[in-house]
Structures are given as C-alpha cells and as structure tokens.
Amino acid sequence: MKSVLATIILALATQSAHAASCAWSAKMEEDEGGSVIMASVCGGPKGDAQLMLACFDKPVLSYDLGAAGGQLEPGISGSFTFRAGGKSVTKKLVLEAMYNYFTAELSGPSDPLLALLRGKGEVKISADKYGEASFPLTGSSAAIGKVLAECGKGSGGEAD
C-alpha cells in the first residue's frame, strides 16, 4: 500500500510541476518571412498540445493537438469550441498541413476569442472529432498584448 501511495503522490507531483511550467509567454521566433513575435502556451492531457498566437496583417491562432492529434489529413477543418470564465466561442480552424496544426485568422485585436483567451483560470478547447484539452490562462493577457502590439507592423521579412 505504501508503494502505491508513493506512486500516486509522485504522479501528482509530476503533473503539478509540469502544469506549473505551462504558462503563456511571448518571444521572437523564426518564420518563413523572418522573425515574428509569438505568444504560446502548452497544455492538454500530456502537456504536449500547444496554443500559439502570431500576428501578421491580422492575429493568427494556431492549435497543435500534440500526440493526441496524430498525423492528420491535409485539407481538413474542424469546429472548435473554446470555453473559459463561463463564456464560449466557436471557431472553424483549418489544418495547416506543413506543421500539422489547426489555424484560424482572427478578425483583429477585439476578436471575441482573444478576449476569452485574455481571461483568468483556464480555457478548455473541444471538438467532436479531436476531444478536449485545457490550457492555463496564466500570463495570457500580457503575452497576447505583446503580440497584438506588433500587429500590422510587418515582420521585417519579404512581403508575399
């Protein structure tokens, strides 16, 4: 019984330590057109799913399902519901085949999904075909704010 309890305590401690490391951050990352500021957070059941926000002409949200997503078929899309703070927003996300994650261009800094992601607590993302994952919102407001401050300024790279 002692070893079972020790195993449970160790598993909970590992989950807590992992969850604590999944907070929003904003940093410069390399993109095809040059450097771009990206806000991101990890989450999901194994902590390998990611939500990312970059801004080109408009904010673009990307959702990497992590290992739960497997290798997805190019050209697919899905309706994803984001829930936080008693509110929900549903968006159609399209698979970006090169990176194997779903993306959506948002309407701008006042997009309802950005308002939801700047809240407190956690956001749960669900889609019938892909299950549910949750992400902490710790630090989201500051990280998203840094990205939005760069919106429309260009990345310094070549224009398409």
Residues of the chain with pLDDT > 90, as a percent, come to 57
Q: Strand, helix or coil at 75?
A: coil
Weakest-pLDDT range from 18-32, 66-80, 114-128? 18-32
pLDDT at position 81 over 50: yes
Summary mean pLDDT of the chain: 82
The reply to whether the predicted model has a pTM over 0.85 is no
| Nearest alpha carbon to residue 146 among 28, 30, 23, 65 | 28
Per-residue burial over 56-76, b if 16 or more Cβ lie within 10 Å, else e, is beebbbbbbbbeebeebeeee
Give 46-75 pLDDT, tens digit per residue.
999 999 999 888 899 999 999 877 778 888
Domain spans, the chain? 2-149
In Å, how far are 40, 50, 116, 123, 140 from 79, measured between CA atoms? 21, 17, 17, 16, 23
Q: pLDDT category, 20, cuts 50, 70, 90?
A: very low
Measured distance CA(40)–CA(21) in Å, rounded: 12
Inter-residue contact 44 to 68 (CB < 8 Å): yes
Task: Tell me the CA distances in angstroms from 152 to 2, 52, 58, 77, 112, one per residue in order.
Answer: 58, 18, 7, 26, 19
What is the CATH number that goes with domain 2-149?
2.60.40
